[in-house]
A and B are shown apart, each in its own frame.
Chain A
Amino acid sequence: MAYDQDLEFIYYGPTRVVFGVGSSREVEVEMSSLGCDRAVVMTDPGIIKAGLLDGVKDTLGKKCVGVFSDIPQDTGVGIVNRAADYAKECGANIIISLGGGSVIDTAKNVCIILKEGGRCEDWQGLGMLSGPVTPHIVIPTTAGTGSEVTFATVLFDETKGQKVLTNEMFNAPRVAILDPKMTEKLPPLLTAGTGMDAMCHAVESLHSLQHEPIADGLAIHAIRLLSRNLPACVDDGSDLSARGQVQIAALLAGWAFGNALVGVVHAMAHSIGAIARVPHGIANGILLPHCMDFNLEDAVEGYGMVAEGFGVRDRGMDSLTAARESIKAMKAFTKRIKHPQKLSGVGVKEADIARASELCMSDGSILNNPKMIIDSSQVLEIYKKAF
């Protein structure tokens, strides 16, 4: 991969990472090392039902001053405000998120409000924070979002009926604790869907207009780890070795896309997710190969690196051939992990895709796509192929 002489970028990834089977027991030590003693845990009902909260609460003991669990699949502005009110009432000086992307993104926005005040809707914009927010430790229970190390969040804005992005350098979590045991009970479909979210982060950071060598390296290794380990997780959820490698892949892809950003796949997944409530990872996984087909001519080098990650780029293979091989590999991979192949198969109606095409044009991710998108009809064509 050649980079232009005028290459310039800023890479930022300040989150401390703690990894290992049983590492969630480190949460109290990590919290104390940040000088904090009053934690509110943010989680969701599924996590509580799976019994994952108990161990964390036991470890925290009296330092856990509250649990907020009213967080749905797609979190939103109103939920963040309620969670922030609760955390304030509890006198929290640290937030611990135990869950997937929706829980983590809720917690990130709560940390902004605890430090800066106001309501969630007051913090619409980019780069608005004046300094570090309330400390946040993340214990992911899925392996895909990467939100444990990014400074971006996605929230459903109930008034707009749209998912909105925030991007705040000061909002990266302080610590990410990756405990493979936390993902052990994820069912195969959720394992595949969240895994494809990570895969999509890696691929999109490679084809993004803002890709750069550090993010590229992280993304290629993420693809390598996912291609080798995600099928094993789908086949046997108790394979903690594979689970751990997929967690690491998701984190690497998080660092990659947190810096290089994402493109049309995410813009489309956010939009169809807002309208038809398709889980984000599954929307990404269905749309990704179709978007790669769409972008191919403008992302040859990037997809050549995807082929390297998949191990399908032979020595001496030219970039265009490698890029085509990467798309074939991606299609085969989604089938291998039994990922849904069509939007119509996950509850999307034909009328939804026209609405989503329009919504997509105001999603910030679309600006970073390698192929310029000037009209919603281009997006609609991709949706139709994925329908």
Chain B
Amino acid sequence: MALKAFSQEWMDAWLKSIQTSQEYKEIAKEWEGSVSIIVNPDPSKGIPEPIYMWTDYWHGEAKDFHYCDKAKAESANFVMSGEYIRWKQVAKKELDSTKALMQGKLKLKGDLTYVVKHVKTVNKVVDLLAALDTVFPDD
């Protein structure tokens, strides 16, 4: 059954898929730090308020995925923000996340050199997200 995008169940399923991926454990063994995801509001697409999500990773382990408030989101090691439509494209693998950053379609607050060095980790996390059976608010 498809999971509703940006729901806690969806985040839980994403977390579980990362935790059970042996490939992720290997690729991400040097990654340290939290990543928050901010989805800008778009009432016409069913996103009336901004969505703040907290995800946390440590040496091949995914620790904790949950909603948070704006202040906590902005305190993450890496803060990624963007329009709903961009996040949907990323989650469906229609848009490469690093390309989106370079093109200004998504924003990043944090150390770009670290992200580049660990780009395989980033790509694997997105691959696992894209593999989820997801229904989006405007589908």
A residues contacting B by CB (< 8 A) are 9-10, 124-128, 160, 162, 164-165, 167, 169, 209-210, 261, 361-364, 366-368, 374
- Say whether A124 contacts B112, CB under 8 Å: yes
> Within the assembled complex, what's the spacing in Å between the Cα atoms of A162 and B111?
12
Interface string of B84-106 (1 = CB under 8 A from A): 00000000000000110111111
Chain A: CB-nearest residue to B103: A10
User: Most chain-A CB neighbours within 10 Å: which of B107, B113, B117, B119?
Assistant: B113
| Interface contact B110-A124, CB-CB below 8 Å | yes
Complex CA–CA separation, A162 to B109 (angstroms) = 18
Is residue B116 within 8 Å, beta carbon to beta carbon, of the partner chain? yes
- Interface size on B, as a range, is 20 to 34
State which of A9, A10, A125, A368 has its C-beta within 8 Å of the C-beta of B112: A125
Q: Chain B residues with Cβ under 8 A from A164's Cβ?
A: 112-113
Q: Establish whether residues A364 and B116, one from each chain, have CB atoms under 8 Å apart when the complex forms.
A: yes
A-B contact count (CB 8 A): 62
- In the complex, besides A128-B107, A361-B117, 5 extra interface pairs with C-beta distance below 8 angstroms are A124-B112, A126-B106, A126-B112, A127-B104, A169-B104
Knowing A124-B110, A128-B109, A367-B98, the reply to whether A10 touches B116 (Cβ < 8 A) is no
Binding site for A on B (CB under 8 A): 79, 98-99, 101-114, 116-117, 119-120
Contacts A/B (CB < 8 Å), 27 sampled: A10-B103, A124-B110, A125-B79, A125-B108, A125-B109, A125-B110, A126-B102, A126-B104, A127-B101, A127-B106, A127-B108, A128-B108, A160-B113, A162-B113, A164-B113, A209-B99, A261-B102, A361-B116, A362-B113, A362-B114, A363-B116, A364-B102, A364-B112, A364-B113, A364-B116, A366-B116, A367-B99
- B103 cross-chain contacts in A, Cβ below 8 A: 9-10, 210
Q: Roughly how many angstroms separate A10 CA and B109 CA in the complex, as a whole number?
A: 21
A125 to B80, CA, bound (A): 10
CB distance from A257 to the nearest CB of B (A): 12
CB-based nearest B residue for A123: B109
- Smallest CB–CB gap between B116 and chain A, Å? 5
Question: B residues within 8 A CB of A210?
Answer: 99, 102-103
Chain A's nearest CB lies how many Å from the CB of B3?
28
CA distance A368 to B79 in the complex (A): 22
Query: Residues of B contacting A162 with CB < 8 Å?
Result: 113
Measured CB to CB, the nearest residue on chain A to B95 is A8
Q: How far is the CA of A45 from the CA of B89 in the complex (A)?
A: 49
Contact B113 A363 (CB under 8 A): yes
Contacts A167-B102, A261-B102, A367-B102; is A126 near B113 (CB within 8 Å)?
no
**Chain B residue with Cβ nearest A168:** B104
Write the chain A residue with the least CB distance to B119.
A367
Least Cβ–Cβ distance between A278 and chain B, in angstroms: 19
Residues of A within 8 A of B101 (CB): 126-127
Contact A167 B104 (CB under 8 A): yes
Q: How far is the CA of A167 from the CA of B109 in the complex (A)?
A: 12
Distance in angstroms between the alpha carbons of A363 and B113 in the assembled complex: 6
B59 → chain A closest CB, angstroms: 18
Residues from chain B with Cβ under 8 Å of A261 in the complex: 102
Given A164-B112, A362-B113, A362-B114, A125 and B107 touching (CB < 8 A)? Answer: yes
Find chain B residues with CB under 8 A from A368 CB: 102
Q: How far in angstroms is the closest Cβ of chain B from A202?
A: 19
* Residue of A128, A160, A367 touching B116 (CB-CB under 8 A): A367
**A165: chain B residues within 8 A (beta carbon):** 112
Contacts of A169 in B (CB 8 A): 104
**Distance in angstroms between the alpha carbons of A313 and B6 in the assembled complex:** 53
Cα–Cα distance between A366 and B102 once the two chains are bound (Å): 12
| A126 closest partner in B (C-beta) | B108
From A210, A367, A374, residue with most partner B Cβ within 10 Å: A367
Q: How far is the CA of A124 from the CA of B117 in the complex (A)?
A: 16
* A361 to B116 Cα, complex, angstroms: 7
Instruction: Quote the shortest CB–CB distance from B109 to chain A (angstroms).
Output: 4
Docked Cα-Cα span, A356 to B118, in Å, equals: 17
Ranked nearest first, the 3 interchain pairs of A and B with the lowest CB-CB distance are A362-B117, A127-B107, A362-B113
Chain A residues near B112: list those with CB within 8 A. 124-126, 164-165, 364
Chain A residues with Cβ below 8 Å from B104 are 10, 126-127, 167, 169
CA distance A9 to B105 in the complex (A): 11
Chain A residues whose CB sits within 8 angstroms of the CB of B109 once the complex forms: 124-125, 128
Which residue of chain B has the shortest Cβ distance to A267 in the bound complex? B116
